[in-house]
Amino acid sequence: MASYEPSAESALWKDYLRKKRQNFFAQVALLAVLVVGFLPLSPEANAIDLMPSKPKWAIDETKWVTVGMGFRGSGIWAENRDYRNDFSIDNARVYVNGQVHQYVKFELNTDCFFCNNTHSGDSPKMQYNILDAIGKVEVNRYVNMWGGRMLVPTERGELSGPFFQATHDAFKTPFFSQDFSTKFGSGGAGRYGRDDGGTFWGSVEPGFIKGTLSYAVGVYRGLQSSSTIGPNQGDDVLWAGRFTYNFLNPEKNPGYYTSSTYFGKAGDILALAFGTSYQRNGAGSFANRSDFLGLVGDILFEKVLPKNMGVVTVNGEYKQFYANYAPAAFADPGCFCMFDGKSWTVTGLYLIPVNVGIGKFQPYGRFTSVQPNHSSNREEIEGGVNYIIDGFNARISAYYQHGDLRTKGLNYAPDVVGEKVDVFKLSFQLQM
């Protein structure tokens, strides 16, 4: 986010849920100081920029480097015994982007993996290492190529990353292979939505229907298995692609990345998308293997209301995964036990146009349903409010969650159980 094991993934969730911090109230105080620290910001901070402004060092017009950072954290209060009142470091990233030629660029991003595991007995250990490492050939809007370690193009949720989501706690539905895994190479299929491979992307205007068609397709390493453990004994690769049609205004993001809201700054948006991912022998165990096929459809609708009445945003997603391995695979410690079934989620947000202090309030609601074929269903309802100070660069969120998504976690075995819990979170993110 070691060879992949269902128990290892479960342990990751337990580490997240029971985060062993000893001085919670001191850390909450630190959070309060950070929040209060926003107050001296000038009124100009209300302006919403879709992309963070980064320091830039230029040699000439075609050679330059930019450096940025991103940090996300949460305070958590929960009723269930598996949770503890605590502070979570969700992400701590450094971004490096550059250009060495008019058509040749690069991107290098780092993150703090397992950042909540800070005690001597925690496993896996906290690590600060490479998230993205991409070489880019960008010629025009129609055809471009990226190669290296990058996001696999499937769903809007992944391509928006954690920092360009409409809500702070955004990843609710089952993961594709590259985010379900915890490592690259033998026994793993990538990490944090990234995998090694190549992506072709671009956009066109077909003309027969008003709007813009964007595409991103590629081939990636996918799940890799050793000679005696895991289902992929033939070194089959993973294929993935995503196609998006913008019927109103086009979305303007770097490469094939997306955002889950534009705070009304991009005008009216109606984007329908379809994504898919396929790998032969990409799920199950050595003895009980199956192909993996993941399908996703998502929609983003954003309307700027007339007469400065605010901005309405709706995000919807439906997933259908086919990973038809036998339930006996769950008994194999080397099982890559992908989700098999369907899920959906919908989020509605309203950005109130009135400035309150240095920002604007954006109340929202969300519902998620996950329905595995061989395990128990799980659901969650969430309601909260975002305080938008500077778009994605400075945001505070307070929200309530009720359901069993967290307690049941990523374990889709037939006998998994988990009670519904009530959770309150106060989260923030900073970006430059």
Helix (H) / strand (E) element for 317: namely: strand 311-322
- Read off φ and ψ for residue 273, nearest 5 degrees: -140, 150
The whole-number pLDDT of residue 281 equals 96
The answer for residues whose C-beta is within 8 angstroms of residue 189's C-beta and 6 or more apart is 4, 177, 178, 180, 181, 195, 221, 222, 223, 224, 238, 282, 336
Break the chain down into helix, strand, coil percent, rounded to 5.
10, 45, 40
Half-sphere exposure (Cβ direction) of 413: Cα atoms closer than 13 Å:
19
Are residues 388 and 38 in contact, defined by beta-carbon separation less than 8 angstroms? Answer: no
Beta strands, E only, 45-124: 56-60, 63-78, 86-101, 104-113
Residue 121, Cβ density class (10 Å: 0-12 exposed, 13-18 middle, ≥19 buried): exposed
Q: Please report where in the chains the tokens 């997603």 appear, as a residue.
A: 317
For residues 155 and 132, give the distance between their C-alpha atoms in angstroms, rounded to a whole number. 18
The whole-number pLDDT of residue 329 equals 94
What the block records as the tokens of 185 is 């190479």
The answer for residues whose C-beta is within 8 angstroms of residue 224's C-beta and 6 or more apart is 184, 185, 186, 187, 188, 189, 230, 232, 235
Beta strands, E only, 141-211: 144-151, 194-204
Are residues 285 and 335 in contact, defined by beta-carbon separation less than 8 angstroms? Answer: yes
Helix (H) / strand (E) element for 27: namely: helix 24-36
CA Rg value for the chain: 21
Name which of 191, 281, 207 is nearest 245 in CA terms. Answer: 207
Q: Please report where in the chains the tokens 């895994």 appear, as a residue.
A: 181
How many helical (H) and strand (E) elements, i.e. helices and strands, does the chain have?
Answer: 5, 17
* Torsional sign, CA 19, 20, 25, 31: negative
Pairing state of beta strands 104-113 and 127-138? antiparallel
200 strand-pairing partners: 145, 217
Half-sphere exposure (Cβ direction) of 82: Cα atoms closer than 13 Å:
18
Model pTM score? 0.85
The whole-number pLDDT of residue 18 equals 44
Name which of 413, 411, 403, 429 is nearest 79 in CA terms. Answer: 403
Q: Strand, coil or helix: what is 138?
A: strand
User: Phi-psi bin for 255: left (phi > 0), alpha (psi -120 to 50), beta?
Assistant: left
Q: Strand, coil or helix: what is 44?
A: helix
**32, 203, 207, 394 from 140: Cα distances, Å:** 46, 9, 19, 32
The whole-number pLDDT of residue 53 equals 65
The answer for residues whose C-beta is within 8 angstroms of residue 51's C-beta and 6 or more apart is 253, 254, 392
Name which of 146, 114, 117, 149 is nearest 131 in CA terms. Answer: 149
The whole-number pLDDT of residue 84 equals 58
Whether the ω angle into residue 43 lies within 30 degrees of 0, i.e. cis, is no
Tens digits of pLDDT across the chain (432 residues):
333 333 344 444 444 344 444 343 344 343 443 333 333 333 333 334 456 667 889 999 899 999 999 999 999 887 765 555 778 889 999 999 999 999 999 999 999 888 877 777 777 778 888 999 999 999 999 999 999 999 999 999 999 999 999 999 999 999 999 999 989 989 999 999 999 999 999 999 998 899 999 999 999 999 999 988 999 999 999 999 999 999 999 999 999 999 999 999 999 999 999 999 999 999 999 999 999 999 999 999 999 999 999 999 999 999 999 999 999 999 998 999 999 999 999 999 999 999 999 999 999 999 999 999 999 999 999 999 999 999 999 999 999 999 999 889 888 999 899 889 999 999 999 999
